[in-house]
Each structure stands twice: as structure tokens, then as C-alpha cells.
Amino acid sequence: MVLRELDLTQIIIRIAIAMVVGGLIGLDRTLKNRPAGIRTHMLVCIGSALVMITNQYVYQAFESGDPVRLGAQVVSGIGFLGAGTILTAHNHKITGLTTAASLWASAAVGLALGIGFYEGAIVGSIAIIIAVTVLQVIDDKLDSKRQAFDLYFELKEGYDLADLMTTLQSRGYQLERIRLEGDTSKQKNVDAFVAKLRSREFMDADHIQMMMLGLDEIRYCEIML
């Protein structure tokens, strides 16, 4: 139980580890040019650890109160910071979900370190780093070849949806779940749609993007990930 006792040495150790693991979690986000990188994740982890250290100190010093109350507020309160990293483009493409999740996970690691649960914090940190780095490679491979993609596209003036559907069907593709997005385009009098493009065979994301942009009917197209 020596490692769980709260003294100056333990405070330094817990904060130092929080700095390191928080920075490691945020490193992947920085390398991918995401809005919340090393410093943000580090600060979240340090802050969470400090909250739990303070909570433990209050509980031991005054022998009253709930030893996990402040930590519970961190778990719910970190949501506002994560929400700030989630962006929705004009075409309904959502980005930042992984960054938001890693911030939340970084806070959880900080809470574990703050209370002296080193084993859980270290194992959790390793799992998080694997999830945002190693598993990203697998996720990209699975995502690049599949039989359906959600698309946002805008038609050129003079063409309608029937023209596009006929062209796609002649190439072995089919549009499903088509939804008109009238106010998403930055151009006036442009028909914009969100739909699912399906094929009987596996499709490569880059190939689909180039194919759609090469059609006479398409003014703009983007795959929604």
C-alpha cells in the first residue's frame, strides 16, 4: 500500500506519469494534425490526476466526504472539451470523434493515476495508444475496400438525379437512401444530395472518389467517413 499513500513523492510520481502518458496519447493526434494534440491531452491527464489527488487529500485530511465525487465530475465535464473537437462540414462529414474519445480516455487515465491505481492507468494507456495508432492501420484497410459508401454530391446545372442514376447503373453501381440536402452547397441553385452508393463487389474509396468526380453529371463529390 506504500504506492497508494499520499505524500509529496507520490504526488510528483502521479503527476509526472500523467504528463508522460497524456503526451503519448496526444502524440498521434498531433502527427495527424488534429485540433487537440500533445499539450491538450497532457493537460487533460494532469488535470484529472490532480483532481483525484485533491479528492484523496480532502477525504484523508478531513476524514469525511466522498473519495470519488470530484472524479465523477471530471468524467461528465470532459464532454464539453471533446465536443469542441468534433466538426461537421457543410456536407455533413463528421471529423474529430477519435480525438474526442481519446481526450475522454486520457481523463480516465489521469483519474486512475490520481488515486494511485497505477496498474489500471498503465494498462489503459497502452490500450489507448494501440487503439489510436496500430488499430488505425487495420481500420483504414477495412474502410478502404467495402461494398457501400455514403456520399455527398452536387449535380451540375442541366442534369438531374435520374441522369446520374442511369449512368451509375450502367457501371454496376446503385444509389440508395437518397436525401436532398438543399442548403448545404455554397453555390446557389445547386442540387445537393446525400446517398449510399452500393456495388456487388468491393470498392476502393479513392477509386470511387475519382470515378464520381469524372462523371459529367457531378459538380462536386465527397465520401462521408
pLDDT, one tens digit per residue, over 207-224 is 888 889 999 999 998 887
CA distance 143 to 180: 25
Answer yes or no: is 188 within a domain: yes
Instruction: Say if residue 128 is in the same domain as residue 150.
Output: no
Task: Identify the bridge partners of residue 174 per DSSP, sorted by sequence position.
Answer: 198
**Residue 147 in contact with residue 198, Cβ under 8 Å?**
yes
Work out whether strand 145-155 and strand 173-180 pair parallel, antiparallel, or are unpaired.
unpaired
Query: Which carries the bigger pLDDT value, residue 47 or residue 68?
Result: 47
The C-alpha cell of 86 is what?
468534433
In 3D space, the residue among 159, 161, 215, 154 whose CA is nearest the CA of residue 188 turns out to be 154
In 3D space, the residue among 48, 24, 9, 204 whose CA is nearest the CA of residue 132 turns out to be 24
In 3D space, the residue among 148, 140, 132, 133 whose CA is nearest the CA of residue 223 turns out to be 148
Answer yes or no: is 139 within a domain: no
Give the model's pLDDT for residue 215.
Answer: 92
Residue linked to cell 502521479 = 14
Q: Which of 2-11, 93-102, 123-132, 196-205 has the highest mean pLDDT?
A: 123-132
Per-residue pLDDT band for 59 (boundaries 50, 70, 90) equals confident
Question: Which pTM does this prediction carry?
Answer: 0.63
Answer yes or no: is 191 within a domain: yes
Instruction: Say if residue 69 is in the same domain as residue 17.
Output: yes
Residues 6+ apart with CB under 8 A from 68: 55, 115
Instruction: Say if residue 119 is in the same domain as residue 215.
Output: no
Instruction: Say if residue 28 is in the same domain as residue 119.
Output: yes
Instruction: Say if residue 8 is in the same domain as residue 82.
Output: yes
CA distance 193 to 198: 15
**Residue 197 in contact with residue 165, Cβ under 8 Å?**
no
Instruction: Say if residue 162 is in the same domain as residue 110.
Output: no
Answer yes or no: is 140 within a domain: no
Instruction: Say if residue 152 is in the same domain as residue 107.
Output: no
What CATH number does residue 177 fall under? 3.30.70.60
pLDDT, one tens digit per residue, over 73-99 is 887 778 777 777 666 555 555 667 788
Give the model's pLDDT for residue 138.
Answer: 72
Instruction: Say if residue 126 is in the same domain as residue 155.
Output: no
**Residue 132 in contact with residue 109, Cβ under 8 Å?**
no
Give the model's pLDDT for residue 110.
Answer: 93
Range of the domain at 8: 2-132
Residues 6+ apart with CB under 8 A from 163: 217
